Structure 1
Amino acid sequence: MMPAPENTEDLLPTILGTRAASLGVPENCVPWPLDMNHSGGSTPDQTAKILKSLRKSGEYGQWRWPKRPVVFISDLHADAESLVRSLVAAGVVQRHENDADGFDLTDFGRSCVLVIGGDCLDKGPSNLDLLNSLKKLIETGVRLKLLAGNHDLRLLLGVRALTSDRSPLTEHMFIRMGNKVLPLLREVYDKHVAPANELESVPDLETCRDRIFPSETWQRDFPEAAAEHLGEAAIQKELRRLKKKIATFEEASLSAGLDMRMLYAAAMKCRELFLAPDGLYAWFYDRMRAIYKTGSVLFVHAGLDDHICAEIDENGVSHINQLFREQVYQDPFTFYSGTVANIMRTKYRAVDKQLSSQGVERLHRAGVKILVHGHVNRDRGQRLKTMKGLLHVEADITLDRNSRKIEGLKGIGTGATIILPNGNIVGFSNDFPYAKVFTPEIHMTKAALQHDGT
């Protein structure tokens, strides 16, 4: 375990308080360890790049901090208990029952902004419990910003494609969700389909299978149809991905206790619950946005590309959210392969929309100095990195129990990233012994000294 440095008391956010020990999260903090691979750069060169990014962003004016504390929690993947524990640890709520909605806002919770960074759905253990927890948060009056994640979008686009006119661009969108959506569909079947005996009105098994799976000619027709939207490498990757998912999907569904009729019934019920105007969970997609900015800090699910950077510079963040609301209900494949949806799915791979130093410069010009996001999970708490000169806080700290089991992590995931009006960014997790505190003003001084010494 890394020893705690001295004289860090002034950096310790009071919001962690005495709740920390009982939840397995750190009670003390350290200045963000940039020189460690799990938290920053694995080499002096990587650390130098982070400091250089700080110095470069400083050329476009001073940092502006949010007027209210911002609490960022991302990639919950249907783990309501992880959400509630993280909120308790961050001081946003106090718990009075062990239920998913057995909590009330604290004074800090009433003063802060809560950003849920996307990927609320899939994997398990309980999608519907998590949605109920989020609904309770809305009812408490918390300032909630709900960002779209790629898993959230897959359900929306997959269910819509299942009942739309079939085409080579859309008929694979339901299977594209993959096996990770099966826990959600099983929950919906058990809680909303079976009790109402709605399976009786569902078509026969073969008809359901034909509607769920892409046609036999899809692999031949898709490349030509997708050519105007994707490059050849991305098309081939999509074909390989779908081949694997098609091969395993029905067997995985049966293992989850769902034959194709039951699965189809659950999908149709999802359309009613999530997409109908009066659906029980219609609020989920109604409240969703692509991006949120406060001060110099930008929040997204995954990342950015040059086109989005230019849009932010020219038209502002609200324009991106307007584009998202307009495009998300258009053709599913056109939207998901486009630059707005890239915000929710990029990992800065060659097949993704590209971010360059010119795009970062435009973002700096628009007043953005750091990006806080999920999507790339970490097992030792939050990590700071630089991409083309833009600072990123990777804040997916592997909260859901499904992922934690796969990665060999113990306990229920608990943690959050907090941006404070006093100029500190705090990341804490039950997988790292200290809360990490990043203070750009201090590190910018180091960057300036380093630059003067070169």
Structure 2
Amino acid sequence: MTHALPTIRRKSVHNDILARLPAEWTLWPRDNSSVNQAVQDEDHPLPPRLAKKKLRFPTRPVVFISDAHADPHAFEDSLIGAGIIERKQNTEPDELRQFKLTKAGKKSEIVIGGDCLDKGPSNLELLRSIRHLYKLNARVTLIAGNHDLRLLMGLLALSRQKDIGNQHLFVRMGKKVVPLFREVFDQYLAGTKWEKGIPSEEECRRRIFPDADWFKEFPFHAAGFLTAEGIEREVHKMDKKCHNFERHCRSAGLSLRQIYAASLKCQQLFLRKKGEFHWFFKQMQLVAKRGSFLFLHAGLDDVMCHVLLKNGPRYANKAFHRNIQRRDLFSFYYSPIANTFRTKYRDADLPLTDRGVKAIHQAGIFVVVQGHVNRQQGQRLTLKQGLIHLEGDITLDRHSRAIEGLEGHGVGATLINKKVGIVGISCDYPTAKVMPPKQLQSLYAPIS
């Protein structure tokens, strides 16, 4: 049975967006696009200790939007679709940052689930849209994504003395970061004497790429930090990226000298206090706990579960920032902290076992809200190792959608509200998916 959807502000100025979103809702479907097999299976084993636990919803309504990947129109339209912002009068649909908070927006928290960067069409415009939310005094929580941190690691590695652990981190950003360098070059360097002080093409190549002996030495350097599968995967990935990175730069019309100049400009923009985007990494958090919900980009492993149990989210976020500032980038980027924004629960990733799940439950966390794993038919609830994950990456950016055969940019958001429960809205699913609080609780304490 479907019902009219009351959660979206139906103003005529937003007809173009509302026409793409569902106008009705159903109870959370049990199809494969909405839940995984473990949730569908009525006989799945659940820890008895959870039967007496009661899920606590965030005290304030939360709107979760993740993986906008440099698509500012997808991001702003999703906030409009969630009823959080509205366009100012007499503005065109394509105008960016011409919005104000709604009454609901002033009462809600906007959790941006990471991966703001890469792919396109405009990294800088998306960052400016997010910055505009801060200027409106919106309650914004910005979560670290793997694409975001890849840029940071690349910029930091380029500014530090080369070692086996860090010299691959610039090229490791890969082809998806090239559009950002193109934007930065066009907006800040084109038409200037950017060549002054920039070394030769060959010297830029030497500074950007890992040394010839990296592939031989890295497996020994990483032993004890990464799993054997993780080391093999990293070396294979870097072999491919080293062969293709310069070709991707030239396809974008950039020489290695221009890439190097743009990276130095990015260091000014993102890493210096007076830089236009210095706020981006400064505001970033690793995790955010709201009630029984933990918001992060990718997932957990046993070590991070015990860190959260023993020390809590505030400590984890402080450790995240302290580790970014350390000289040893390798120890940070391959640590359990970084696994939180990188894992896909593969053999190459640090493991989440029953031991970790028990710890995270003891910490009062029963639902992980994540991005990172993109879905083409709206949000998906999964049960992984007995821990509920709400997957909220609904393929918003037009670049990914074109590759996957989807039209235009995406629109949608995940709403978490103690009165309504979880509401998944997506332009790629015919109805909004609603899971009331009692139904969510029943996943941990099935009704016999």
- Which bracket does the TM-score occupy, shorter chain normalised? over 0.9
Partner of 1:439: 436
Q: Alpha-carbon deviation of 1:401?
A: 0.6
- Asked if structure 2 preserves the Cα contact closer than 8 Å seen for 1:49 and 1:386, the reply is no
2:324 paired with 1:328: yes
One-letter amino acid matched to 1:153: L
1:295 corresponds to which residue? 291
Correspondence 1:47-446 to 2 at 5 A = 47-48=40-41, 53=46, 58-59=50-51, 61-96=53-88, 97=91, 98-330=94-326, 331-442=328-439, 444-445=441-442
- TM-score, normalised on structure 1? 0.93
The normalised TM-score by structure 2 is: 0.94
Q: Retained in 1: the 8 A contact 2:68–2:75?
A: yes
Alignment partners' CA distance in 2, 1:198 and 1:56:
64
Q: What's 1:29 paired with?
A: 25
Cα RMSD of the aligned pairs, angstroms, is 1.9
Distance in 2 (alpha carbons) for counterparts of 1:304 and 1:113: 23
Alpha-carbon separation, structure 2, partners of 1:194 and 1:367: 52
Aligned to 2:7: 14
Aligned length: 440
SS in 2 for 1:59: helix
Which 5+ residue runs of structure 2 have no aligned equivalent?
A: none
SS in 1 for 2:140: strand
**Which stretch of structure 1 is more off in the superposition, 440-449 or 109-118?**
440-449
* TM-superposition CA deviations, 1:384-426 (whole Å, max 9, x none): 0000000001100000011000000112210000101215100
Distance 1:321 1:449 in 2: 34
Matched-pair identity in %: 43
Name the stretch that deviates more: 13-22 or 411-420.
13-22
- The unaligned stretches of length 5 or more in structure 1 are none
State how far apart, in whole Å, the 2-side matches of 1:100 and 1:164 are.
37
Whether the 8 Å CA contact 2:54–2:441 is kept in 1: the answer is no
CA distance in 2, matches of 1:80, 1:50: 43
Supply the distance in 2 between the matched residues of 1:26 and 1:414 (Cα, whole angstroms).
11
Tell me: CA distance 1:421–1:51, structure 2 relative to 1, closer, same or farther (3 Å).
farther
Deviates more, 1:351-360 or 1:77-86: 351-360
Q: Aligned pair in 2 of structure 1 residues 445, 211: CA closer, same or farther (>3 Å)?
A: closer
Deviation at 1:436, TM superposition (A): 0.3
**TM-aligned CA distance change 1:75 to 1:325, over 3 Å:** same
- Displacement of 1:64: 1.1
Q: Residues 65 and 423 of structure 1 are in contact (CA less than 8 Å); yes or no, is this contact kept in structure 2?
A: no
Q: CA–CA distance in 2 between the matches of 1:238 and 1:270?
A: 25
TM-fit CA distance, 1:449: 6.0
Counterpart Cα distance in 1 of 2:6 and 2:311: 35
Please give the alpha-carbon distance, in whole angstroms, between the structure 2 residues aligned to 1:425 and 1:154: 31
Give the letter for the 1:109 counterpart.
G
SS of residue paired to 1:351: coil
